Amino acid sequence: MRCEQFRELISAYIERSIAPPLAAKMEEHAAGCASCRAELEDVRALWQMMAQVQPVKAPDSLHARIMQEVYARVPAGSPLRWWELAWRPRFAFAAAAVLAILALVLWSHNERTDAIALSVVSSGGSPVTPVKTRILPVRFEPFRAEQGDLRWMLKMNAPQPTVVEVASGTRTVWRGLVAKETPVVLPLSAGASVLEVRVSWDNGSVLRAWLPAEILSQDSKPVLVVKEKTVEETLSRIAGAYGVPLVLMGETDPLTRVSLRSTGVALDELLEKVAAELKLEISRAEDGTTVLTAR
């Protein structure tokens, strides 16, 4: 063994991460080479020394300095905007009613004006008469794939973190804190009956909104199951973790191909993670859409 090779392996030797025959060769070399032997001993001692180093104490003034600088350089929150007003409970029902109107509008954009009916109910279950208003704390956005499949995304606004629960039938499919412009992909799977959104305020008020089963059933299709999870479930979980809105569009039956678009950040990184997790091939279309295909 040459000295150069010995030096390359010093750390691995100290960590005992090299094969015994190679370690034996190193010991043989060290026995006859004072320079390499000293280097090995020094690095080992240095390693131990670094393990004993104590943390330094942060200055007492550090916290105040950090907060002061943050306050000075990051402007405080802007005044309430119209959708934030909507989030206050007294506006809630009026706001919720807009869901129906909006859904109709969005649906008509998709040339499917015949079957939509979004119900909005109070916590008591009584339908609320739609009120025309611009206030919009929660909205559904439908997306349709080229071949007619449909998925939904929910966008929510809240001036303060608010617990929101999204259920498909009796199954809770998403639950979390909603802040400003929080998007949630709705992971609808085959057999989904009613998509229901329950929004709870601190004072106990509850808003519920749902998409009736007859609408959902038109677009529910078997989905690709990977590791006993559906693509939608996995994507939704990952999207939730990243805080990135995703648009899912299934194209075949069973779903073997998922196109994704995102308005969020770091999409490439997210998609690579998705592809790796689901063992899907990743490709990008000319229009910027990323396509994940089952192998």
Partner 1 sequence: MAPLEDRQLIERCRTGDREAFDELVRRYEKQAYNLAYRLSGNYDDASDVVVEAFVRVFQGLHTFRGEANFGTWLHRVVVNTFLDMRKRSKGRHNVSLEEQLELDGDTLTRQIEDTSPGPEELVEQEEREEVLQKAIAQLPPERRILIVLYHFENLSYEEIAQMLNLPVGTVKSRLNRARLALREILQPSRELFGG
Task: State the residues that interact with partner 1 by CB under 8 A.
Answer: 7-12, 38-39, 41-47, 49-56, 58-59, 62-63, 65-67, 69-71, 73-74, 76-77, 158-161, 176-177, 179-180, 241-244, 265-266, 270, 273
Instruction: Phi first, then psi: give them for residue 173, nearest 5 degrees.
Output: -105, -15
149 neighbors 167 (Cβ within 8 angstroms): no
Q: How far apart are CA 153 and CA 162, in angstroms?
A: 18
For 151, list phi and psi in degrees, rounded to 5. Answer: -130, 165
Q: Which two tokens stand for residue 208?
A: 């519920």
Question: Rounded CA gap, 185 and 155, in Å?
Answer: 9
Angle at 179 between CA 178 and CA 181, to 5 degrees: 100
Give the phi and the psi of residue 156 in degrees, each rounded to 5: -130, 150
The amino acid that residue 257 corresponds to is R
Residue 279 CA to residue 272 CA, distance in Å, equals 10
Single out the residue of 99, 102, 103, 151 nearest to residue 122, CA to CA: 99
Mutual orientation of helices 267-278 and 231-242 as an angle, nearest 10°? Answer: 140
Query: How far is it, in rounded angstroms, from Cα 194 to Cα 208?
Result: 12
